[in-house]
């Protein structure tokens, strides 16, 4: 059993394959405490870790020091206003305007499978979803206990025909009249725990939820470091590792999306932890809107770690009987260093989050015309690129921004999703048919959430754009944001998209979002509900994308937001890949892709071979290196293939062949980081090992040539120590005869030698196979 309840001890023990998470109920009042999260335990009674037998005890035995108890007790879901002066996970305003609340245990339920979260993306169980992650399992029942109806759970016998198990803890605030259900799911095949909460108004008065985090974790500090992912446009998800200091620290977004600048991920790790050793705790959020991740180090050297919706600019009116659902949070513990944490996230997202036809399928190699033409194109130009690309083995042509309305620059036509037939002569069906005749698929770009002031839609519905009454809203990229929180706006935009997709054989959509939200005010809501708009906006986007992948189940959807501003787990529920960054320079991508792969599978990272000099940084790198770096993602091209040299064109069929040879391994295998340009600006190395450990692909990038230096030694990872291997391709000459064999233990402990090629920015692939 993955979840057990020790009734005598009032203790819950949640087990993944290698970890345990322990919750204890204490005191006659039923306080819910967090006792343990770490390596798997054989027994569950560790309530002494709560320190309730020392110093200030529980209110039952020492009511006169209740405040001191609150301020040090490791709470599972802390509340506001009663004496825990650390950050709270929940703040609810009652009819009097007071924000105080106390949650205590009421009941619990353990069952096989897991529930969906209405309106939000979430991990799923194979027991109640098909292989594509979309087909509901037939055996379900209606949960009517506790007065809740309409939620379905699997009825498979416990421990049979189920790959995950869920604990629901029902807590109550008797005085205010509301309940909170904390949900925890563990999977049989992943070392991850997913958590969420729902707040239920069980009283007779309207409540206002001012803050509702998805997860909170209290633990002792052990001289920990923290890792956050920071950056900017073209520098997304750069790894920032610092010591956890006293007080509150963390990341946030108020942009209506995650943003380029900060990411909804935090890790807490041993000060000496490396890729291969040390305790690491990782936290990610399955959400695409305003978030807040925080770590608080208290006066007693305890840590409180939280993640959830950013409470700034958030409130939610809860009428009697209504419920509010938080997004789902993912918790990972690894005793095998940073790499172990990354592989746990990868496994969970590949097996239990990503859905659809392309989840386990090789993606077509595409070429996108954006950096080739920008807005300056017509049918003839596009077909010229497509014809040359098709000859070289590229499998899909994607038409980017500029095909609709009267759009010849970024100053007009967003919202007018009809074909500009002055540019696309013969219309879209003709262009798509001509591309299909070349043996290529066709894809198209949309930006459904935005509107140009110079557009037919804005002239007809100016009130559909976000605008604070009495103020002139700010533009970015010469555009405003549509109020997608309004169903009529979302319906209108979706209908235009669907009409285009039905008009021709379009097999791919790039969904873009090129500016953050500002001037957020919805004319569809009263003034006392404006705090709901940011969250309703995100749910509107989710609803549109759910409709899209349901109506067009064979469509390959790739999300994008000015590059990687909305690369998050929430979007992966709808699209199996996300454009990683507008910076496609191979050397810059080493850092961007390393930071992204810290959490997300390589199969999700949109990565292309771009033109040189690179359009972002002006760097010139070898065409071969660009291809090998892009191989650690979905792989494609972002350039005008008609302008390449003959030598570069001749490399494309070889790169296509290489992609098809290794993509199954890259997409499905275990990722290991060997060396990083963060540590050594001259060198980068990583590898992917198959699940059965029969093969591995090592990528080595020599960023800067070092004069008069010896070969480098790299130690491989993830192989079977007892198996014999040989280097099937790319064997470095520094290791002697190319046909020799090695034990896995030799390759991992002694390593191999990598001689340095002449010149900068050189990359090589080393394919290791079982002998």
Active site residues: 512, 582
CA-based torsion, 601, 674, 283, 484: positive or negative = negative
| DSSP-based three-state secondary structure for 596 | helix
Tell me the Ramachandran region of residue 388: left when phi exceeds 0, alpha when psi lies from -120 to 50, beta otherwise.
alpha
Angle at 357 between CA 769 and CA 288, to 5 degrees: 100
> What three-state secondary structure class fits 629?
helix
Paired residues of 184 in beta bridges: 167, 195
In 358-426, alpha helices (H) = 370-373, 379-391
SS3 helix, strand, coil % of the chain, rounded to 5? 20, 30, 45
Residues 41, 5: contact at Cβ < 8 Å?
Answer: no
Q: Are the beta carbons of 242 and 229 closer than 8 angstroms?
A: no
Q: 3-class SS at 350?
A: helix
Helix (H, G, I), strand (E, B) or coil at 371: helix
Instruction: Give SS3 for 437.
Output: helix
Give me the sign of the Cα torsion angle 254, 257, 261, 265: positive
Cα separation, 701 vs 709, whole angstroms: 16
Count of alpha carbons within 13 angstroms of residue 452, beta-carbon side: 21
Strands 577-579 and 480-481 come out as: unpaired
Tell me whether strands 556-559 and 577-579 are parallel, antiparallel or unpaired.
parallel
Phi and psi of 655, rounded to 5°? -65, -40
The C-alpha atoms of residue 600 and residue 608 are separated, in whole angstroms, by: 17
> Nearest 5°: phi and psi at 43?
-125, 160
Contact 351, 17 (CB under 8 A): no
String of DSSP letters for 150-164: S-EEE-PPTTSS-SE
Tokens 């557009």 sit on residue: 455
Apex 513 CA angle, 509 and 515, nearest 5? 165
Contact between 188 and 14 under an 8 Å Cβ cutoff? The reply is: no
Task: Give residue for tokens 């130009």.
Answer: 381
Phi and psi angles of residue 358, each rounded to the nearest 5 degrees, phi first:
-95, 5
Compute the CA torsion angle 669, 670, 675, 676 (nearest 10 deg): 90
- Which residues pair with residue 90 across a beta bridge? 79, 212
Give 67-134 as a DSSP string: HHHHTTS-BSS-BSSSS--SPPSEEEE-TTS------EEEEEEEEES----TTS-----TTTS-TTS-
Q: Contact, 186 vs 282, CB < 8 A?
A: no
- State how far the Cα of 333 lies from the Cα of 396, in Å rounded to an integer: 40
Tell me which H or E stretch contains 488. Answer: helix 487-503
- Beta carbons of 231 and 237 less than 8 angstroms apart: yes
CA quadruple 435, 440, 441, 443: dihedral sign: negative
Asked if residues 618 and 672 have their Cβ atoms less than 8 Å apart, the reply is no
What is the number of alpha carbons within 13 Å of residue 240 lying toward its C-beta?
Answer: 16
């Amino acid at each position: 059993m993955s979840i057990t309840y020790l009734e005598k001890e009032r203790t819950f023990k949640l087990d993944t394959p290698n970890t345990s998470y322990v919750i204890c109920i204490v005191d006659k009042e039923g306080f819910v405490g967090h006792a343990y999260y770490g390596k798997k335990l054989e027994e569950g009674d560790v309530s002494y870790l709560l320190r309730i037998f020392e110093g200030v005890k529980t209110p039952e035995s020492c009511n006169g020091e209740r405040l001191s108890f609150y301020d040090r007790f490791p709470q599972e879901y802390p509340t506001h206003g009663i004496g825990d002066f650390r950050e709270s996970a929940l703040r609810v305003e009652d009819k009097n305007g007071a924000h105080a609340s106390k949650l205590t245990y009421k009941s619990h339920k353990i069952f096989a499978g897991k529930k969906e979260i209405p309106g939000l993306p979430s991990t799923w169980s194979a027991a109640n979803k098909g292989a594509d992650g979309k087909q509901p399992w037939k055996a379900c029942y209606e949960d009517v206990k506790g007065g809740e109806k309409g939620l379905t759970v699997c009825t498979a016998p416990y421990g049979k025909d189920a790959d995950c198990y869920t604990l629901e803890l029902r807590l109550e605030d008797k005085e205010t009249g509301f309940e909170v259900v904390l949900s925890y799911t563990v999977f049989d095949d992943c070392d991850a725990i997913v958590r969420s909460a729902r707040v239920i108004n069980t009283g007779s008065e309207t409540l206002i939820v001012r803050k509702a985090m998805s997860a909170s974790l209290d633990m002792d500090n052990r001289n920990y470091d923290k890792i956050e992912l920071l950056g900017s446009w073209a520098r997304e998800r750069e790894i920032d590792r610092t010591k956890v200091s006293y007080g509150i620290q963390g990341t946030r977004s108020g942009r209506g999306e995650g943003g380029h600048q900060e990411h909804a991920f935090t890790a807490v790790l041993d000060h000496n932890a490396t890729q291969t050793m040390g305790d690491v705790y990782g936290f990610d959020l399955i959400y695409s809107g305003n978030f807040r991740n925080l770590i608080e180090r208290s006066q007693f050297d305890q840590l409180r770690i939280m993640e959830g919706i950013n409470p700034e600019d958030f409130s939610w009116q809860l009428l009697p009987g209504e419920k509010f659902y938080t997004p789902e949070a993912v918790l990972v513990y690894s005793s095998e260093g940073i790499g172990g944490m990354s592989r746990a996230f990868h496994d969970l997202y590949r097996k239990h989050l990503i859905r659809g036809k392309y989840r386990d399928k090789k993606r077509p190699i595409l070429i996108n015309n954006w950096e080739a033409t920008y807005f300056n194109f017509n049918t003839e130009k596009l077909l010229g690129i497509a014809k040359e690309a098709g000859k070289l083995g590229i499998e899909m042509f994607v038409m980017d921004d500029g095909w609709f309305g009267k759009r010849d620059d970024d100053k007009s036509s967003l919202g007018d999703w009809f074909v500009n037939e002055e540019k696309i002569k013969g219309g879209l069906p003709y262009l798509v048919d001509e591309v299909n005749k070349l043996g290529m698929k066709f894809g198209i770009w949309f930006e459904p959430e935005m509107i140009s002031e110079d557009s037919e839609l804005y002239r007809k519905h100016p009130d559909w754009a976000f605008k604070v009454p009495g103020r002139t809203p700010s533009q970015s990229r010469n555009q405003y944001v549509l109020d997608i929180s309004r169903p009529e706006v979302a319906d209108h935009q979706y209908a235009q998209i669907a009409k285009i997709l039905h008009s021709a054989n379009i097999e791919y959509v790039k969904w873009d979002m090129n500016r953050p939200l500002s001037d957020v005010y919805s004319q569809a809501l009263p003034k006392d509900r404006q705090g709901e708009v940011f969250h309703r906006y995100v749910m509107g986007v989710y609803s549109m994308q759910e409709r899209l992948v349901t109506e067009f189940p064979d469509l390959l959807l790739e999300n994008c937001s000015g590059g990687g501003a909305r690369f998050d787990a929430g979007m992966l529920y709808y699209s199996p890949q996300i454009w990683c960054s507008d910076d496609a320079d191979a050397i810059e991508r080493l850092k961007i892709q390393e930071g992204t792969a810290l959490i997300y599978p390589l199969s999700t990272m949109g990565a292309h071979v771009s033109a040189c000099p690179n359009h972002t940084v002006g760097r010139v790198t070898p065409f071969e290196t660009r291809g090998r770096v892009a191989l650690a993602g979905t792989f494609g091209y972002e350039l005008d293939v008609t302008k390449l040299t003959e030598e570069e064109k001749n490399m494309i069929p070889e790169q296509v062949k290489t992609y098809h040879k290794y993509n199954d391994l890259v997409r499905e295998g275990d990722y290991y980081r060997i060396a990083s340009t963060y540590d050594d600006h001259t060198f980068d190395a990583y590898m992917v090992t198959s699940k059965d450990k029969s093969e591995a692909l090592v990528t080595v990038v020599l960023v800067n040539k070092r004069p008069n230096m010896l070969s480098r030694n790299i130690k491989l990872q993830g192989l079977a120590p007892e198996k014999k291997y040989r280097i099937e391709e790319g064997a470095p000459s520094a290791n002697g005869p190319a046909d020799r064999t090695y034990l896995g233990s030799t390759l991992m402990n002694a390593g191999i030698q990598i001689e340095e090629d002449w010149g900068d920015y050189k990359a090589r692939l080393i394919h290791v196979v079982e002998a």
